[in-house]
Amino acid sequence: MNLEIDEDIPIVWLDIVRFNQIINNLVSNAIKFTDKGSVTLRIKKQKQNKNNVTIHTEVIDTGLGIPLDKQETIWEAFTQASSTTNRLYGGTGLGLPIVKSIIEAMGSKVHIESKMKEGSRFYFDINLKKATREELLKTTKKEYIILKGKEYYWLKIIILMLWLECKY
């Protein structure tokens, strides 16, 4: 498992529960369908202005890949890339539809690039509001967490746990 997180990401407001659900689903699938090779989670700052920043997130694997004719249907609930997927790997076919709906609710779109026997790349950009010092001092909301490049240690632990759960 490779983790590449841009340390130049400013402090932003983010619904961490939903963001974590996206990462959990994409990374879990990548690990599940990658017997050999690697899985990479990459989060980087794409652009920013005075009040906002665009974060680019991608999960890349060297796994089975998804046939071109299935790359649209995998976003439908209870649908998997092949009829043998459930027998071999388990799952309900709900992970990717959940990912898509959350990302769309955040005002973005999720994209896929995939080739059979080479792997897949799922990626999206989200625009986030920068948190000001005054806002940070005023707020006590628990549903949000501050996302800052050097504070991703929790994410590494979650990904390691997912990897261990899928492999053992």
**Which DSSP state fits 49?**
-
At 168 the pLDDT is 41
Q: pLDDT over 90 for what percent of the chain? A: 52
The pLDDT assigned to 160 comes to 46
Task: For the chain, give the mean pLDDT.
Answer: 80
Alpha-carbon 68 to chain mean position: 21
Distance between CA 91 and CA 88 in Å, rounded?
10
Domain boundaries defined on the chain: 2-129+142-167
Q: What is the architecture of the domain spanning 2-129+142-167? A: 2-Layer Sandwich (3.30)
Q: How many C-alpha atoms does 91 have within 13 Å on its Cβ side?
A: 27
Quick: pLDDT tens for 69-119.
Answer: 988 988 887 666 555 554 355 556 788 999 999 999 999 999 999 999 999
**pLDDT band at residue 10 using 50, 70 and 90 as cut-offs:** confident
pLDDT higher at 162 or 40:
40
Buried b vs exposed e over 27-58: b needs ≥16 C-beta within 10 Å? bbbbbbbbeeeebbbbbbbeebeeeebebebb
Contact 119, 62 (CB under 8 A): yes
E strand or H helix at 71, and its extent? none
Q: Does position 139 have pLDDT exceeding 80, yes or no?
A: no
Residue 132: per-residue pLDDT: 80
pLDDT tens track for 38-69: 999 999 999 999 999 999 999 999 999 999 99
The span from the CA of 134 to the CA of 153, in Å, is: 25
The model's pTM is 0.76
